[in-house]
Structure 1
């Protein structure tokens, strides 16, 4: 159990500035869990309340599984001068001061591998901030390329590209400030993009029976889920991680399934390139978390920036592919074909052209 805890701690705890973790156990039988995690980073006083400049908060009784969840979701540490945050067994977060606290710089429990304020006194992680640029470049281009699709199939495609830009803005804000509000907005923007894309393009054979293959009804259900999850995320931030995994992981498997079914080689090649980009993005994200000390030693703590670039390419390509699969299955009479901009070669920006539409 201790080795598992240490693995999750190393993977999900990324505060490189203080490199400290605080947790206080009231139950003696859990002391070995706390001590094992603390020992891994040089902290030995399990029940003490002060660790240098860091104040530890008391927790309620926790069992080993609960302890893992706590470590994954939030480090229970704050600076002495920061407002106190209590995380109880209910997993709710209650701010002792005003809502403005979540807007303060450095209030997020997550700090990526890039050194803070190294390149700019105003931006915490400059590379992680600016690497979101593709999320802002693609949407205006894609809105123009998908005008015909919007006019003949679904104008909701404009919302998809707008949310794509919102993801980039929220991610840039988060990495520029490392604020808790930025973290929540970043995660919620991704959640809304995934939910809306599911509502538009999930094949009807995967609908629950009570939906009765009604796409409009399914869209309303996905919107309701997004609204509930958005409010819940401010009370239970751990919900974001589970919601994103619940929607994100099935997307990858659905994509591979559709690619295998497709017989058009151009579409298959685009699909597999998309899968490679997605895999490269995931590997970059994981390596940035687990092996940060190695990258820092070589002064290359920028793998999360690589994640932004690769996931931006993979994400918009996934949207284009699912829009194409939906058009082929439900609007075959419009003769949808995959095109690339600016030249119709396979390494441009993909979009859908409807041969039999106005």
Structure 2
């Protein structure tokens, strides 16, 4: 049974530190989520992003910009879940800053509809990049929600006015190719997207202005009807539909501009959800009777293979195409595809990503309990979760787009880890900007080259370089502690133990990964012979996920422990829970910790 708590009660994540606190009563449903309905309603972003990418794939849209627009919706979703779940300032930044980047990406798509717009690509990219990159430090510095609202509103206004301009241009320049019906369809989609977004914004504004009234009405009507008055939840639904609609609109216009006359607009469930359809596509989306519209949109035809459709939930032959179609990724791991369920390509490889989320949660709990205020630490923890989410999507679908959402965050997250590891001691902070710039350039260069080359070995080498740096850095820092902080010399044995714990976990996972890659046929034969449940123990990629999750967690906690000691926090110490799980903790109370700590720079 779900317990109910009074509004504003401190829950699992402690008192909120965010700049804004929405109208939903905090910890009213569970002590583990500050705003329960605001958190859960982010699933709408997940559904629309997946549906959008699948729609683009079904019509053969190969331009990365549109996939990036939908991918950034997933980043916004992740940040919003963390924000509403914890009400922390750092989580708020992970929600709101990606909204700016997402808006810039969609603006870019709107400006690059026609082939001849490529000549302005450099200028468009530069302006939008500067806008988003300048916004971030200014917002982090001034911490003014109105500044964020104004910056986001400018992008929204741009997205209100740009599509009509492009629709009219398409009508004018392609009148001999596309009839009035196509143009009306574009306008229909435009007004649909605009109505959804502005409707959601109106509801959001009403809740903010009349929060006390909304709360009193919720109290009168009681559960379950009060859920319908969680208006921020409706903002999430409608803004997700509005964002989805405008990205589909821009993708559709782009396809028409390059004379893809085979692509058409369809409305699943009447006027509920728009999708793109091509008569040339092998697998076509269709609407199934008796299913809700969004589920209908996710149920696409498998052609003549009706026997497969009737198999239901059960074991499947290796290599069978499931709900996500044939793999488009450059890698396909040793686990047999769709062998457990047609909805997840690599079931155990996907679900084992829960280890990343688990250790991120434990890590966040630890650093919050310790009173850590530096953003680098929280970014390190959040990076673990982002990689976990991306890896889940990749292994579940085996799409190239989700592969990038797994592998590129591995580069970005490890860059964050390296930055934190090299900036442990206050006396080394003078070159912060130079190090941050170097890692930023490295991550951008790797991204561009990897998207161009599409060579997994290139990614593995680039990631391996960062991992090697991260592996070699702690011993250097331990040496610095020994010679410059003699008061902590008794902590070195614990630090070394934590270091080797993480290193062995990571290298053990890497060894499993190597065996899984090089002896796949042996493992598959072994799994077939032993059967369930023992065959799960031969899913070695699962143990790679576990080993890297443990190793990454230990690495971040090692750096956090070092940083706390270097900044004079002699109260912290290393504790081994059950003798096997490390945690950095303190015996001080929360109030005492707050007196010791002050907000610090990144």
| TM-score using structure 1 length | 0.62
Q: Deviations over 1:29-64 (max 9, x none)?
A: xxxxxxxxxxxxxxxxxxxxxxxxxxxxxxxxxxxx
Partner of 1:200: 420
Give the distance between the partners of 1:242 and 1:308, measured in 2 at CA.
19
- Change over 3 Å in CA distance of 1:204–1:337 after alignment to 2: closer
Counting only pairs closer than 5 Å after superposition, residues 143-154 of structure 1 correspond to structure 2 as 143-147=364-368, 151-152=372-373, 154=374
Map of 1:322 onto structure 2:
559
Q: Distance in 1 between matches of 2:410 and 2:573?
A: 26
Match of 2:494 in 1: 266
Contact 1:324 1:336 in 2 (8 A): no
Q: Secondary structure at the match of 1:146?
A: helix
> Which residue of structure 1 aligns with residue 363 of structure 2?
142
Quote the offset at 1:212 in angstroms: 8.7
Partner residue, 1:168: 388
Question: Where in structure 1 do 4 or more consecutive aligned residues deviate above 6 Å?
Answer: none
| Residue 328 of structure 2 corresponds to residue 107 of structure 1 | yes
1:276 equivalent in alignment to 2:495: no
Mind listing any 5+ residue stretches in structure 1 that lack a counterpart?
Answer: 1-81, 86-96
Picking from 573, 581, 584, the partner of 1:351 is 584
Paired residue secondary structure (1:279): helix
Residues 424, 562 of structure 2: 8 Å contact kept: no
* 2:304 alignment counterpart: none
Alpha carbons of structure 1 residues 192 and 270: separation in structure 2 relative to 1, 3 Å = same
Distance 1:288 1:186 in 2: 19
Counterpart residue number, 1:251: 470
Q: Counterparts of 1:113 and 1:335 in 2: how far apart (Å)?
A: 47
Match of 1:223?
440
**Which structure has the larger Rg?**
2
User: Which residue pairs with 2:545 in the alignment?
Assistant: 308
Q: Aligned equivalents of 1:270 and 1:151: distance in 2?
A: 19
- 1:250 Cα offset (Å): 2.1
Q: Do the aligned partners of residues 275 and 295 (structure 1) sit closer, same or farther apart at CA in structure 2, a change above 3 Å counting?
A: same
> Larger RCO: Structure 1 or Structure 2 (Cα < 8 Å, ≥ 6 residues apart)?
1
Q: Does 1:338 align with 2:558?
A: no
For 2:523 and 2:419, how far apart are their aligned partners in 1?
39
Q: 1:291 maps to what in 2? A: 519
Query: Scaled by the length of structure 2, what TM-score is found?
Result: 0.38
Q: Report the more deviating stretch, 223-232 or 128-137.
A: 223-232
For residues 348 and 224 of structure 1, what CA distance do their matches in structure 2 show?
36
Q: How much is the aligned-residue C-alpha RMSD, in angstroms?
A: 3.6
C-alpha contact 2:424 2:563 (8 A) present in aligned 1: no
Q: Following the alignment from structure 1 to structure 2, what is the Cα–Cα distance between the partners of residues 277 and 161?
A: 18
Structure 2: segments with no counterpart, 5+ residues: 1-58, 63-259, 264-276, 282-323, 483-488, 528-534, 598-602
Offset at residue 214 of structure 1 (A)? 1.6
How far the C-alpha of 1:278 sits from its partner, in A, is: 1.6
Alpha-carbon distance between aligned partners in 1 of 2:476 and 2:518, rounded to the nearest angstrom:
30
The residue aligned with 1:9 is none
Q: Is the 8 A contact 1:128 1:175 kept in 2?
A: yes
Distance 1:288 1:151, change over 3 A: closer
CA distance in 2, matches of 1:145, 1:353: 10
> CA–CA distance in 1 between the matches of 2:439 and 2:585?
25
Determine the C-alpha separation between the residues in 1 that align with 2:353 and 2:516: 17
